[in-house]
Chain A
Amino acid sequence: MPPLLEVKNLRMHFPVRGGVFSRIKGWCKSVDEVSLTVKAGETLGLVGESGCGKSTLGKTIAGLYTPTKGNVFIDGTEVSLLSNRQRLPWRKHLQMIFQDPVESLNQRHSIGEILSEPFIIHGIGTKADRTRWVKELLGKVGLPPEAADRFPFEFSGGQRQRIGIARAIALKPRLIICDEPVSALDVSIQGQVLNLMLDLQREMGLAYIFIAHDLAVVKHVSDRVAVMYLGKIIEQGPMEEVYRNPLHAYTKALISAIPQHTPDKRRKRILIPGDVPSPINPPAGCAFGHRTKHPRYAETIDHPPQLHEVLPGHWVACSPCCVEEWVMEKAKDR
């Protein structure tokens, strides 16, 4: 049986224009040759620093951008090539939750209008049905039924994010792409929203792609994790496994940089010099080796690092700058 979602060699390159005639000067390689799968009911965490392309990847999978190259399959059906009209029935299966609950809700629509819109677009139910469903949805996300007549500005950030979640689950999707769903919320509210998302997953058998920069949050909700760096996935595997045994130097640094909540256990942080390079005309070869000025970086220019399954289910981009010798050996054997 095909997996719920399969992404193959997905590329999202944006043209960078300039000059008098707006000629294309270069390409911003936001997402470059990304492949991943999501099974029904599981959560794939997607982590990386700002500008690494994780949000663009989410939006491209959701069909908000047309990919430059590559394919997106839902239940084994190729959807990235379909026209908007042909795609409509598939959109039901795949919804999105956004980071900023202020910008993602139309300020001029009441909550009732916002939540019945998905049904109207897909032509489901009568007006009476929709009113009933809106109330049910509000109940599901822990808001009173009266909320339907009120407007987004009357709600706090946490409540607005609940409304965003209600909209995403309206059509009973099977996969929700969550783009930094709790980053804009206060610490005490974060927990409430995460709990709600976990409850809904159990209840409705949802799968999530959970995009976030906070590794502790991602670790709490995810079954598997993919680490992105400069448009590429550099490590992917079961959450516990990647966290306990990170193979890529960037993943190691990322995990060590998370502040711990216990002052006794202050660990040695691995500090990475420099910043993430720009995805516009990125360096050839191993991008992380380029950042750290690794002595073996030159080797990777002609042989860009490839993802290899080094341990069961645990994939890593094998660059001599970033992984240990035994990993390189193992990758060669495969």
Chain B
Amino acid sequence: MSHDSILTIENLTIGFDTEAGHLTAVDGISLTVPRGKTLGIVGESGSGKSVTALSIMRLLPQPMGKITGGSICFEGRDLVKILLEEMRKIRGSAIGMVFQEPMSALNPVHKIGRQITESIRLHTTLSQTEANQRAIALLQKVGIPAAETRMQSYPHQLSGGMRQRVVIAMALACNPKLLICDEPTTALDVTIQAQILELLKSLQAEFRMSIILITHDLGVIAENCDEVAVMYAGRIVEKTDAKTLFARPLHAYTQALLQAIPSLDSTPKTRLPAIEGMVPGLAELKPGCRFAPRSGRPYTEEDLMIRPPYVEIEPGHWVENSRVCVGTEIRNVK
């Protein structure tokens, strides 16, 4: 892949050992995160987007979760293969992570000052006083008023938006090159969501970070991402830049998803072109095209059994080239 990407995932497969047997949650996905840009990963629950994020940090639930194949290349090193000790050094320093629920990402019995300085002291040689100063500076940077006094607050004394700012400050503590945000605004109100997304944008420009933004909200993707990967049932079905994805989606799932959401411009009180059926469970996944049964288009047993190739249909526009879900005129161009 090109040298201006900070993270390259190739053919990544993640499985879980459960009572029902081995289930594959992420099935051979490949993607790159462009340096200094934002990659959005969008999908419904169970599509494997959060599992992908956790695997980059090697934080899959143990002992059930396993990376069973593929590579995650970060700055020339394969994160799948390196020792856990080395991974610990990367976590929180070179790669930071922001979780969905800020209350559970913070330790309720420690003051936030201590929680931020902990990661600074772990990854740098700064003294406690220096670490304190740095933490205060970080809190100011993420827009927390009276940062010095707030260092002495416990998480429950802060509002949801403030807590998420603290979590972001913690993730930024060691100037990460890559920030992974897993549904960072889902638990927040729209006006607070707008504040947090603005904050991430300005921090990205200042620190020249790359960001992976995981969300189920296509609106958040449209306004904040440079590139987008659409996941469905453990696979990436389409990946391209944000403009193209919204202007010219090629995969039936992306098209259906864009139509199924009421937008502010849609005609009120009309039926939405909803997607029928449900997201398939992990146990019932077939090797072939996984969206075919819900696409409303004709398909054969063969389409469900043979995996469609993942191809670059036009420069930078990748799609799972299913016979059912991608129009013939597009398939023929290739």
Contacts and interface: CB of A to CB of B under 8 A. Distances in A.
Interface of A: 43, 49-50, 156, 158, 186-192, 194-195, 198-199, 213-217, 219-223, 239-240, 243, 253-264, 266, 269, 271-272, 275-276
B148 to A, nearest CB: 19
Given A156-B278, A216-B263, A260 B219 contact: yes
B271 A49 contact: no
B217 interface: yes
Given A186-B45, A216-B261, A217-B262, A192 B276 contact: yes
Contacts of A223: 269
Q: Name, among A220, A223, A262, A263, the residue most crowded by chain B CB atoms within 10 Å (CB to CB).
A: A263
B279 interface: yes
Given A189-B278, A195-B274, A215 B269 contact: no
Which A-B residue pairs are the 9 nearest by beta carbons? A259-B219, A191-B274, A220-B262, A188-B275, A49-B189, A191-B260, A257-B194, A191-B272, A186-B44
A263 B191 contact: no
Contact of B198 (A43, A216, A260, A271): A271
B216 A187 contact: yes
A259 B264 contact: no
A167 to B, nearest CB: 21
A276 B223 CA distance: 24
Contacts of B279: 186, 188
B258 interface: yes
A63 to B, nearest CB: 28
Contacts of A216: 219, 261-264
Contacts of B162: 275
Contacts of A253: 191
Interface residues of B, number: 45
B269 to A, nearest CB: 6
Nearest to A188: B275
A104 B278 CA distance: 21
Nearest to B262: A220
A49 B198 CA distance: 19
Contacts of A264: 243, 247
A257 B260 contact: no
Interface in B77-95: none
Contact of B223 (A190, A239, A243, A260): A260
Contacts of B247: 264
Given A217-B262, A261-B218, A192 B198 contact: no
A254 B222 CA distance: 18
A50 B246 contact: no
Given A257-B190, A261-B222, 18 more contacts: A49-B190, A50-B189, A156-B278, A186-B279, A198-B271, A217-B262, A220-B262, A220-B268, A254-B190, A257-B193, A258-B190, A260-B263, A261-B218, A261-B258, A263-B222, A264-B247, A269-B194, A275-B159
B107 interface: no
B244 to A, nearest CB: 9
B198 A269 contact: yes
Nearest to B44: A186
